[in-house]
Structures are given as structure tokens and as C-alpha cells.
Amino acid sequence: MNQIKTAMLLAGMTALFMGVGFLIGGRGGMMIAFLIALGTNLFSYWNADKLVLRAYNAREVDERTAPDFYRMVAALAARAELPMPRVYIVENDQPNAFATGRNPQNAAVAATTGLLARLTPDEVAGVMAHELAHVQNRDTLTMTVTATLAGAISMLGNFAFFFGGHGENRNPLGLIGVLVATLVAPFAAMIVQMAISRTREYSADRRGAEICGNPRALASALAKIAGTSGHTVNLDAERNPATAHMFIINPLNGQRMDGLFSTHPDTQNRIDALLSMEAEGGFGGSFLAPRAAPQAPARPGPWGGSSVPPRGRGRPGQGRRGPWG
């Protein structure tokens, strides 16, 4: 059902793109807009992940440069029976994370330094499991293509002021058509983009909790991220608002509502759903790195080689080196 709904929403965005072209330049403008939409989709399919990672200055890491974080993602990917994604760290104090890529074989996951510094290892595991759930559900392609189309529709609407109402293919509604293309179409594109995002976050939360085996850890992570993100400005996200729906929590400052203009469901609703999952039972509690696929022997980590501190031990930062390299 989610795939059908997403296909319908993407088709709606393409139709909206064509509608803006019609309002700008009549039938000729509509055909040009259709060709641009096709080209945008093809370009996004192959390059959207690179554009997003570059926009946030993401730095790729491996087992040598960020051993515990990399092994944690590897263990989670093994649990989910996914190919190992590329792993990135974004230098940003706002705790957040996102996934991108056209399919599980070409996926990437990224976490901010703020996330790694502020969350416990179990909570980080819950967040990264959520992102891997997006990869497994093939949400990443839809989300990146939608972001590109939404931005293109907004840009096309801005062109209406300069090109609308001129020449043989002028729009049939005159000034009203220009105003619709300039104001209403980008607004409608934003609504479609948000609808796609919100329909997928709940399913990614549920699958992520199954992957990490700890719904409460993911619920705790969501509460911490939501409580901090509104007070920490993410300048890269503010410059690229069309990518906001790709993050686990809306990175745009001050966006907390669960109404029409939110890219994400209300955080408390997501937390309640995760705690309901925990009440159903069948979860093993703490995420443990030894359940990962066999790997070469690793150097002792801050907790004796494990990505999670033994019960009763202090949290990272209490007189010892942090876990993320």
C-alpha cells in the first residue's frame, strides 16, 4: 500500500510540474516541463545521493577512521540482511541522521557529530537501524527524487514572473495563472513532499526497532533529538530545505508541529507507537555488537571491544575516549 501511495504521489508531483509549465507557457510550456520532469527524475536516480552528501559536507568513514560506529552499522546491516552501506559522518552539532541512495546496493547512511556525542550507543544503534529500514523499504530513492522534484517545481514557479504570459504559448489564465504558478504550485509540491515523508516514518520506526531489537532505545533517541534540534541551527539544512524530510527528525529550526506543514509525524506519536511495540514483547533489549557478521579481530574499544558498554559501566565521556573514533 505504501508503494502504491508513493507512486501516486510522485505521479501527482510530475503532473504538478506539467501544470506549472502550462500556466507559464501553455501547451508548449507543459511539454517542456514534462521533459524537464523526466530529466530531473533520471538525474536524481543516478546522482541525488551524491548531491545530498555533498550539500552536507559528509565525510566517508571506515573501520579504521571510526571503528565502533562503522562496526555498529555493519552489525545492524547484517541483522537486516542488507549489503553494507557506505558510512558518513557530518560535522554538525545538531543531533540527526539520514539515509540516501537509489537502492540497497548503492546506499549510504550518515550521522552528525552531534548525534554521536549526545546519544548513548544503544540510542545511536536505534537511529541507524531506522535509517537502514528506509534503505530496506527502498524509501531513499523516493525521498531523494521527491526532494529534487519539489525544489525544481519551486524554481519553475519562480520563472513564471519572468516568462509567464508572453508569446504565442502564453498561459490561458493571464496574471492569475502566473500567480498560481508562482505561489500555489510550490506550496502544493511542499504538501506532496511532506505526505510522502510522513507516511514512511512510522514504518521505518517499526522496522528499525525490529532490526536493533530495542524499541525503547529508538524512542529515547527520538526524544533527545527532538529536544535538541529545535535549539540548534543546522545551516546546511536551512540552505537546502527540500532535503528536510530525509532526516530522522526535521532539521529545520522551530519545526515541531504534526500538522499540514510538518515534514515528519509528531515525535510524541512516534514514541508512543514504539513503546506500544515494546509492550507487545519479543525484544531482547540492548543492542550487542558481537551479533554482527564475522569480521577481522578489532582493536579493543572503549568498552572492551563492544559497541555497547556493559551494564553498570559509565557513559562515554566520563574520563575515557569516546566510542566513535
pLDDT tens-digit profile of 44-62?
A: 778 878 988 999 999 999 9
pLDDT score recorded for residue 284: 63
What distance in Å separates the CA atoms of residue 109 and residue 205, rounded to the nearest whole number?
Answer: 16
| CA neighbours closer than 13 Å in the CB half-sphere of residue 221 | 33
Whole-model pTM: value is: 0.73
DSSP, residue by residue, 77-134 = HHHTT-PPPEEEEE--SS--EEEEESSGGGEEEEEEHHHHHHS-HHHHHHHHHHHHHH
Degrees (nearest 5) of the Cα angle 221, 222, 228? 90
Q: Residue 139 contacts by C-beta under 8 Å, 6 or more apart in sequence?
A: 99, 200, 204
pLDDT score recorded for residue 14: 76
Helix axes 215-229, 185-212, angle to 10 degrees: 140
Residue 303 counted as domain residue: no
User: Which grid cell sits at 107?
Assistant: 546506499
Residue 33 counted as domain residue: yes
Question: Which residues are catalytic, by number?
Answer: 131
What distance in Å separates the CA atoms of residue 140 and residue 163, rounded to the nearest whole number?
Answer: 34
Is 96 within 8 Å of 114 (Cβ atoms)? yes
pLDDT score recorded for residue 259: 46
Is 223 within 8 Å of 95 (Cβ atoms)? no
Residue 324 counted as domain residue: no
In degrees rounded to 5, what are phi and psi of residue 237?
-70, -40
Residue 323 counted as domain residue: no
Which whole number is the average pLDDT over 215-240? 90
pLDDT score recorded for residue 125: 97
Q: Residue 73 contacts by C-beta under 8 Å, 6 or more apart in sequence?
A: 84, 85, 87, 109, 128, 132
Residue 172 or residue 240, greater confidence:
240
pLDDT score recorded for residue 257: 44
Q: Residue 143 contacts by C-beta under 8 Å, 6 or more apart in sequence?
A: 100, 134, 196, 197, 200, 245, 246
pLDDT score recorded for residue 208: 96
Residue 233 counted as domain residue: yes
pLDDT score recorded for residue 164: 52
Pick from 273, 49, 33, 259: nearest CA to 156: 33
Which whole number is the average pLDDT over 104-120? 96
Residue 119 counted as domain residue: yes
Residue 73 or residue 151, greater confidence:
73
Widest Cα–Cα separation across the chain? 76
Parent domain of 43: 2-281
Q: What is the mean pLDDT of the chain?
A: 77
Greatest mean pLDDT range, 117-121, 162-166, 200-204, 295-299 = 117-121
What distance in Å separates the CA atoms of residue 239 and residue 251, rounded to the nearest whole number?
Answer: 11
Helix axes 2-55, 139-163, angle to 10 degrees: 80
| CA neighbours closer than 13 Å in the CB half-sphere of residue 200 | 33
**What is the domain count for the chain?**
1
Residue 315 counted as domain residue: no
Residue 300 counted as domain residue: no
